[in-house]
Amino acid sequence: FLQLVGRYTQRLVQNGSSSKKKKYCRFNYTENDLLVAINAVNSKDLSLNKASQLYNIPKSTLSNKINKKVPLSRQLGPKTVLICEEETRIVNWIVSTAKVGFPVHPEEVKDSVELFLNACKRPNPFTNNHLGSKWFELFLKRHSEITKRNTEIISKARAAVTEEKIREWFCEVQKFITEQNCTDIFDDPARIINCDEIGMQTCPVSGKLLCPKKMPDFYEICGG
């Protein structure tokens, strides 16, 4: 009898251990790895098994992607309100404004998207097209090249303008305009704007601002 009880107990233990759910890790590979693996298999440089092992991509996933049974881009959860191209334009806007010294605030991004949704009348789950903080946090996760950073407080004395700094600023502006292929504005005086009259902000607002990772800090001039 004791032997039967022992065997039964052992079976319960074995069944319990085998029924434990395996830890499942999602996406232990980058989209670039996926593209490289697909190209390697299609060009016969690697077999499906080899590519799966080398790039840590499940064999079934890689096979489905190659055979176009599932979309190449991966996504969990519901579709985003903005399509990929639209979000890319927002990222480019954030990067370009930060590079020229006018970083945008998260609220500016949400307000801009709200204006866009108001104009295009696209169905969405937001009340009055007003996006919340949850949407923005997910947006940052989808675009890890963008980060939030606090402005650094500096004194007026430290921020004093010199002739050298002014000349350097004009050189940077000319360089930026040249990169954007907009040098024709120098030949059209009508396109000269009075920043004071239009209320253009020339100093970053307080709080966390958006910029590319590894970018130098932004500064906020204190009143002292």
What is the residue-wise DSSP string for 38-82?
A: HHHHHTTSS-HHHHHHHTT--HHHHHHHHTTSS-SS---SSPPSS
Q: What pLDDT score was predicted for residue 15?
A: 56
Q: What pLDDT score was predicted for residue 8?
A: 54
Same domain, 85 and 47: no
**Distance (Å, rounded) from C-alpha 57 to C-alpha 47?**
13
Residue 194 maps to a domain = no
Residue 210, pLDDT > 50, answer: yes
Instruction: Write the CA distances from 3 to 9, 11, 143, 146, integer angstroms.
Output: 10, 12, 61, 64
Same domain, 213 and 130: yes
Position of tokens 């607002």? Answer: 205
Residue 71, pLDDT > 80, answer: no
Domain that holds residue 59: 27-72
Q: What pLDDT score was predicted for residue 159?
A: 60
Same domain, 59 and 169: no
Q: What pLDDT score was predicted for residue 106?
A: 93
Q: What pLDDT score was predicted for residue 7?
A: 58
Q: What is the mean pLDDT of residues 155-168?
A: 72
Instruction: Write the CA distances from 121 to 86, 113, 114, 117, 134, integer angstroms.
Output: 15, 12, 10, 6, 21
CATH number at residue 68: 1.10.10.60
- Highest average pLDDT, of 6-10, 178-182, 197-201, comes from 178-182
In this prediction, residue 110 has a pLDDT band, given cuts at 50, 70 and 90, of: very high
Same domain, 220 and 126: yes
Residue 168, pLDDT > 50, answer: yes
Asked which of 19, 39, 72 is the last residue of a domain, the reply is: 72
Burial, 123: exposed, middle or buried (Cβ in 10 Å; 0-12, 13-18, 19+)? exposed
Residue 115, pLDDT > 90, answer: yes
Same domain, 37 and 121: no
pLDDT in tens, 22-40: 444 455 677 778 889 999 9
Residue 42, pLDDT > 60, answer: yes
Residue 197, pLDDT > 80, answer: no
The model's pTM is 0.57
What domain count does the chain have? 2
Region of poorest pLDDT, from 4-13, 33-42, 46-55, 70-79: 4-13
In this prediction, residue 18 has a pLDDT band, given cuts at 50, 70 and 90, of: very low
Q: What pLDDT score was predicted for residue 187?
A: 86
Residue with the bigger pLDDT between 64 and 205: it is 64
Burial, 121: exposed, middle or buried (Cβ in 10 Å; 0-12, 13-18, 19+)? exposed
DSSP state of 100: T
Residue 45, pLDDT > 50, answer: yes
Residue with the bigger pLDDT between 189 and 41: it is 41
- Strand 219-221 relative to strand 152-154: parallel, antiparallel, unpaired? parallel
Q: What is the mean pLDDT of residues 50-79?
A: 82
Same domain, 50 and 134: no
Same domain, 129 and 152: yes
Q: What pLDDT score was predicted for residue 221?
A: 54
